[in-house]
Amino acid sequence: MQFLAEVQTISSIHHINLVRLIGFCAEKSHRLLVYEYMPKRSLDRWIYRRHDNSPLDWSTRCKIITHIAKGLSYLHEECTKRIAHLDVKPQNILLDDNFNAKLSDFGLCKLIDRDTSQVVTRMRGTPGYLAPEWLTSQITEKADVYSFGVVVMEIICARKNLDTAGSEESIHLITLVEEKVNSDQLVDLIDKNSTDMQAHKQDAIQMMKLAMWCLQTDYKRRPNMSEVVGVLEGNMNADTNISNNFVATSPIFFGIAGNVSYSSPPLVSDVSGPR
């Protein structure tokens, strides 16, 4: 069903920041999607420093973030039905030769009627990128906005959201962001391997503050993606009246996740890892 959903969805939508479906095969158990070729492959190869690529400069990171925002804005606000992608993460963001970014992998997407405020669905997506409301199984397209905020932080900080390679205190990036913003030390998180990023510290901090607007635990306080695009293009300012608590720890979020079970109640942002 997920395969057919992806084919139906991506064949009916067209946007410069969404990957283009060229063809597909669905013969018995043999299933294949053929996308346009994206030479630079996925974003995770460029921000996690696993493939000896040179660090991306500030302008390239800004371009990628803007392209992701525009793709999501189209899905949420310009299609006949709102389309929630529900698996926004660097592995699902593909890059062409000029680092133009396109969203891919629509296998988990959900269509939401324009006259429906939210939908009830089983938990889907990738741990670490899931919005707090997933544990109530009632979601809107604002779940993508939260995931976008996580991805922006990863791009600016050049590290995974969940990284067990570091110290226990720094495993979870969003918890670390919460600590750093409350102690006025956000600058510590900016990619230290890029001299260009260090030269644009103040701009990077403003981008992180936009991401924090997207990371509000109350989905109603998050911006629409068109508002995010407006901020990125300099047409409006990000909301500064936001909560600096980005990780939901309230017991009301636990034990109501439908078909998903855990050995102990998880933090919302720990509920995933790359699949």
What are the residue numbers of the active site? Answer: 87
CA distance 234 to 212: 17
Smallest CA-to-CA distance from 93 within 154, 170, 51, 28 is with 154
CA distance 212 to 244: 7
Q: Where are the alpha helices (DSSP H) in 78-157?
A: 142-157
Q: Which residues of 152-187 are buried (b: 16+ CB within 10 A; e: fewer)?
A: bbbbbbbbbbbbeeeeeeebbbbbbbbebbeeeebe
CA distance 247 to 243: 11
- The one-character DSSP state at 36 is P
- Ranges of beta strands (E only) in 91-247 are 93-95, 101-103, 110-112, 119-120, 138-139
Decide: helix, strand or coil at residue 154: helix
Q: What angle do CA 156, 59, 234 make, to 5 degrees?
A: 90
CA distance 110 to 107: 9
